[in-house]
Amino acid sequence: MQIKLGKNAYGKNAVNLSRIIRYPDRNEFRQVSVDVSLQGDFETAHTIGDNSKILPTDTQKNTVYALAKEHLTGSIEDFGKKLSAHFFSNNDQVSLVTIGITEHQFTRMSFDGKAHSSAYIGSGAETHTALVEQDAVGVKVSSGIHNLLIVKTADSGFENYLRDRFTTLKETSDRILATQCEVDWSYTSDETDYAMLHERIRSELLQVFAMHKSLSLQQTMYAMGASVLEKYIGVKEISFKMPNKHHILFNLEQFGIDNGNEIFIATDEPYGYITATVERE
């Protein structure tokens, strides 16, 4: 029986980094987590313990911090491209570099209508993500928004669905629609103003979610993706993972109280899990 090494990779995950960009009148605060993964000619490290082609993961960590001084000044996508180019160009044994970056969102504090120069408040669990892949062919970049919790209390229903003998769900034309979005999109070009496009796409997604007359989460998801593709030619495709955070009407009639479609049980589990990719033909 012959045995051989299959696909393999190694790198450094969760390189957590805070960056202060100091200006004369204010500070800018950034907080990111970086994952580095390398694929390439590492077979002898596995088969005979020869580490001569292994760039230590500690070196990879140090590289992230060192390059952040000069290059983490704009978008995380551009920072990811600088990191991938460094690892790829300086390591002939590497065939694919993958850089994943998650940025935690902070908002500058404001008092009496004036933004504070150096104080921030966290924006919850929402993060801005980027994935950069570089090989001999070129660079591919994708961006995303994760853990975006959004809720609407009107213009949402769920009716006329398939029924069988186990169906107990009641139809409704007026329900709470809540989801914690994971949205990722890729680009038609790697020369993009990533920061500007990220903000515009986020705003577009929120606006469609709020304004759309929803007959199902699937329909709203598709409308959100289609609107982004129609408005932004630089986006190649957009993918969604949207768990349905169920809110179940609580029975107040047992206490002689009319609920009025106002009191719900907010449930974490189990939940509906809906995914889709909207792409150009």
Confidence bin at 189 (pLDDT 50/70/90): confident
Exactly one of 12, 86, 104, 245 is catalytic; name it.
12
pLDDT score for 64: 98
Exactly one of 53, 57, 236, 241 is catalytic; name it.
57
Q: What is the mean pLDDT of the chain?
A: 96
Count CA atoms within 13 Å of residue 175 on its CB side. Answer: 25
pLDDT score for 13: 98
Looking at per-residue pLDDT, the higher value among 269 and 184 belongs to 184
Quote the CA–CA distance of 42 and 93 in Å, as a whole number. 8
Exactly one of 82, 236, 246, 247 is catalytic; name it.
246
pLDDT score for 192: 87
Which domains does the chain show, CATH number per domain? 10-137 (3.10.270.10), 148-279 (3.10.270.10)
pLDDT score for 37: 98
pLDDT score for 190: 79
Q: Which amino acid is at 86?
A: H
Quote the CA–CA distance of 278 and 162 in Å, as a whole number. 24
Tens of pLDDT, residue by residue over 95-105, are 999 999 999 99
Report whether pLDDT(85) > 90: yes
pLDDT score for 204: 98
pLDDT score for 225: 98
Quote the CA–CA distance of 202 and 194 in Å, as a whole number. 12
Share of the chain above pLDDT 90, in %: 96
Instruction: Determine the angle formed by the axes of helices 217-231 and 194-211, rounding to 10 degrees.
Output: 140
pLDDT score for 191: 81
Report whether pLDDT(239) > 90: yes
Nearest to 68 by CA among 131, 130, 16, 10: 16
Report whether pLDDT(187) > 90: yes
pLDDT score for 45: 97
**241 annotated active-site:** no
Task: Look up the pTM and report it.
Answer: 0.93
pLDDT score for 78: 97
- Burial bucket for residue 221 (CB in 10 Å: 0-12, 13-18, 19+): buried
Tens of pLDDT, residue by residue over 111-145, are 999 999 999 999 889 999 999 999 999 999 999 99
Mean pLDDT of 147-158: 96
Quote the CA–CA distance of 151 and 176 in Å, as a whole number. 7
**98 annotated active-site:** no
Tens of pLDDT, residue by residue over 29-78, are 999 999 999 999 999 999 999 999 999 999 999 999 999 999 999 999 99
pLDDT score for 1: 87
Confidence bin at 93 (pLDDT 50/70/90): very high
3-state helix, strand, coil in the chain (%, to 5): 25, 45, 30
**270 preceded by a cis bond (ω within 30 of 0):** yes
Tokens linked to 59: 């070196």
Report whether pLDDT(281) > 90: no
